[in-house]
Amino acid sequence: MRRLAQIVTIVGVLATSPALAQTFNSGSTGADGALAPPAPSSGTSEFWIQLPESGILNYTTINIPANVTVRFKKNPQNTAVIMLAQGDVLISGSINLDANYLDARGNRDYTLPGPGGFAGARIGTGQPGLGPGGGVPGVSGARWVGPLSLVPPVGGSGGANSGWEGGGGGGAICIASSGAIIVEPTGRIWANGTAPPNGYSSSSGSGGAIRLVASRLQMAGYITAQAPYSEPRGMIRLEAPFEALSYTGSSNPPPVISSINAAITTTAQPALNILSVGGFPVPSYAGARVDAADIVLPSSLPDPINVVVVASNIPVGSQVTATFGAGSGTVTPGTLAGTFASSTATITISGLGRSGSVTYLYVSTVFAPAPGAAAANPAGVDHVADVRVTTGMGAPSSYAFLRADGSEIPLTRLPRAFLDAYRK
């Protein structure tokens, strides 16, 4: 069985004429409008953005004026920052993903990471830092560890506690534009780790990760993903068609310069499960045997019968309904409420046979694919308009891909870029 692993992608499309440059679609829906912080009348200013649970921001265009620093309020999962733009991105000011010096109460805390980074060891001499490259006391300092493609983007690891608190790791960001990304000479992007007050680089958090990808990229500013003493460094990537990439600025560490990689980041797989039927919880052994009932409902149970489902990584507001492999009843669909990471819905069923009859119950929901996955599936007769997720009690979620008229598309007819979003 193939299961969907949602991927936010950008799609490289070679032009038919050799005189034209390679272009791609960032996958931005434009739902967050234009990002255009006001320029200060004097001095400098900070502009804070609350990260959504997914960490993905969908802009039409981005314009950060000189003397403005954009910073991010972390989401509960402390995800990396993904900024998608339909049009051009102009950075004359700064984007700051450094590890934090201040906690929510304004107290100095060197262990806090930037968005997408990992914390340093706060208490207990000899404790390692967090993250895949967390510092180990007496063995190694913090290191950046992640995929060199920055898919997904991974921030810096935290430093160890060697008598002082370990520093937090720098954050991680990917900025993708269907148009141009221009970092002017005054432009800055920071994703640095912090150091504890003793100044030991071995206790510093590592630098984070910065990735810029666009149809045209002009980098004349300064971008940095390092620790306060230049080591340990993180990772920087600049991606565009080679004939449309200009690098006249500077960075630490030096950037990897590459043609476009179509993937931005993977997200968790959508899932749907039946939690209870008529107030009776679905047992852990449900679905283990096809010749045994998972739930036996009392014949005196009044209508309507509530079927509670739980979902993850499915858009809130999606409608969930029930169908029958055997048996019948009148179904009133429910609507998912909660968060993208965890939501629930209640379906009601009336007229369900309960006197010695066997019912096979399935629940399903239909929703639009992730914006980037949709972009990987160009318009045409086999364009994927919706994804349908179906499950039974104790069964894993299964997936079908639907045209706009509701008909199912065979997997063999899906574009390769869309098929790359699957796992067996």
Residues of the chain with pLDDT > 90, as a percent, come to 44
What is the pLDDT, as a whole number, of residue 266? 57
Over residues 219-237, the mean pLDDT reads: 89
- Return the HEC string of the chain: CCEECCEEECEEECCCCCCCCCEEECCCCCCCCCECCCCCCCCCEEEEEECCCCCEEEECCEEECCCEEEEEECCCCCCCEEEEECCCEEECCEEECCCCCECCCCCECCCCCCCCCCCCCCCCCCCCCCCCCCCECCCECCCCCCCCCCCCCCCCCCCCCCCCCCCCCCCEEEEEEEEEEEECCCCEEECCCCCCCCCCHHHCCCCCEEEEEEEEEEECCEEECCCCCCCCCCEEEEECCHHHEEECCEEECCCEEECCCCEEEECCCCEEEEEEECCEECCCCCCCCCCCCCCCCCCCCCCCEEEEEEEECCCCCCEEEEEEEECCCEEECEECEECCCCEEEEEEEECCCCCCCCCEEEEEEEECCCHHHHHCCCCCCCCCCEEEEEEECCCCCEEEEECCCCCECCHHHCCHHHHCCEEC
Average predicted confidence (pLDDT) for the chain:
83
Q: pLDDT class for 368, splitting at 50, 70, 90?
A: confident
Q: pLDDT class for 412, splitting at 50, 70, 90?
A: confident
Q: What is the pLDDT of residues 278-308, one digit of tens each?
A: 998 988 777 766 667 888 888 788 889 999 9
Q: What is the pLDDT of residues 112-164, one digit of tens each?
A: 999 999 999 887 778 888 888 888 887 778 899 888 889 889 999 999 887 78
What is the pLDDT, as a whole number, of residue 152? 84
pTM over 0.75: no
What is the pLDDT, as a whole number, of residue 382? 77
What is the pLDDT, as a whole number, of residue 23? 67
